[in-house]
Amino acid sequence: MFYPSTQQRSRQLSPLLVCSILRMLTRASAGQSYSNVYGQPLQSCSSDGMALTGYTRTGYCVDEYDDQGSHHICIDLSSTSNNGDNFCTVTGQSDWCSSQDMPCHNNKDNHSCAVQNWCVCQWAFASYIENAGGCDSIQTIVCDSINLQAILAYQQQIAQEKYANALQCIVDRCSLDMNNLPSTAVSSSQNVWGQASNIVMAAGGRNGSMQTVFLTMIGVGLIALLLAGAAIGTVRRFQSNSRLRKDSNTDANSHLLTDKTPTTAVSTYNIS
């Protein structure tokens, strides 16, 4: 029986390596400039088998310059609250929360997935808690996928009971220390680099010059990607904070229940 050499196996595995790493980097880059409530790299809210969420439709609870809803809170809409009401019912929206025919996280062309983990507006989340009867009466939140920007926004509005309660709810549900909350994003370059290295080593081991060259090329690409992502993330956070200060003199309820969805999205995406 013929057994391919290490070098031959390396050449055979290279397409798999490329596909695996590119897929990982595409998803990781969407959240690498953002942190979650633990100060760690933001995790995707939706996953395979669920409807694809996020204002940017990447699965992450991140915003864009014109996303006035600030959809930073990840909620498991398939969970059951104490009173049996879901987010849509409590906030007075049509029941898109129970939709079963949305584009899938792993295949946007497949419109057969149910809404499950979903990014909702941080201001609507505060109203949700208030109208539901408190933090104990809401559905499950996904802490690893809640954008740190929500905590920072609530801290800026702490004088208003509604937002103080929303902050306290996240602190309680996510087992955070109110006196030691993260305040800035952390770099996830090591996390992304580690994932890339693990894929390469798992597929081909440490032997063979091809892996060395390939890993070096990936490293250079990652550095460029991370630098660009960090710059974009800084600009977006500055814009988000500027928008928050502008809105602080108005009632945040003015944009609680709407989502300025990209024009390329279908009408069913006009949801918070």
What would the pLDDT profile of 173-229 be if each residue is shown by its tens digit?
Answer: 999 999 999 986 554 444 444 444 444 444 444 444 445 445 555 665 665 566 566
Mean pLDDT of 156-185: 94
* pLDDT, the chain, mean: 73
Whole-model pTM over 0.85: no
What CATH number does residue 84 fall under? Answer: 3.30.56.110
> Using 50, 70 and 90 to split pLDDT, how confident is the model at 56?
confident
Nearest 10 degrees: Cα torsion 172, 175, 177, 180: -120
- pLDDT of 33: 77
d(CA 185, CA 235): 13
Q: Is residue 142 included in any domain, yes or no?
A: yes
Q: Is residue 2 included in any domain, yes or no?
A: no
- pLDDT of 243: 52
Q: Is residue 119 included in any domain, yes or no?
A: yes
- pLDDT of 191: 44
- Is residue 65 scored above 90 in pLDDT? no
The number of domains in the chain is: 1
- pLDDT of 84: 87
Decide which of 203 and 59 is more confident: 59
Q: Is residue 254 included in any domain, yes or no?
A: yes
> Using 50, 70 and 90 to split pLDDT, how confident is the model at 31?
very low
Decide which of 184 and 125 is more confident: 125
- pLDDT of 140: 97
Residue span of the structural domain in which 237 resides: 31-186+232-269
pLDDT in tens, 235-270: 565 455 445 444 443 444 434 444 433 333 333 344
Q: Which of 104-108, 148-152, 163-167, 189-193 has the lowest mean pLDDT?
A: 189-193
- pLDDT of 253: 42
Q: Is residue 192 included in any domain, yes or no?
A: no
- pLDDT of 262: 32
Phi/psi of residue 73, each to 5°?
-100, 125
Please provide the DSSP assignment of 135-196 as one string. Answer: GGGS--B-GGGSBHHHHHHHHHTTTSHHHHHHHHHHHHHTT--GGG---S----HHHHHHHH
- pLDDT of 194: 40
Contact indicator for 182, 35 with CB cutoff of 8 Å: yes
Q: Is residue 12 included in any domain, yes or no?
A: no
> Using 50, 70 and 90 to split pLDDT, how confident is the model at 63?
confident
Q: Which of 13-17, 62-66, 78-82, 120-124 has the lowest mean pLDDT?
A: 13-17
CA-derived radius of gyration, the chain: 21
Decide which of 221 and 15 is more confident: 221
Q: Is residue 128 included in any domain, yes or no?
A: yes
E strands, the chain, in order: 73-76, 117-120
Q: Is residue 202 included in any domain, yes or no?
A: no
Please provide the DSSP assignment of 47-63 as one string. Answer: -TTSB--STTSSSS---
Q: Which amino acid is at 167?
A: L
pLDDT above 70 coverage of the chain, percent: 53
- pLDDT of 80: 85
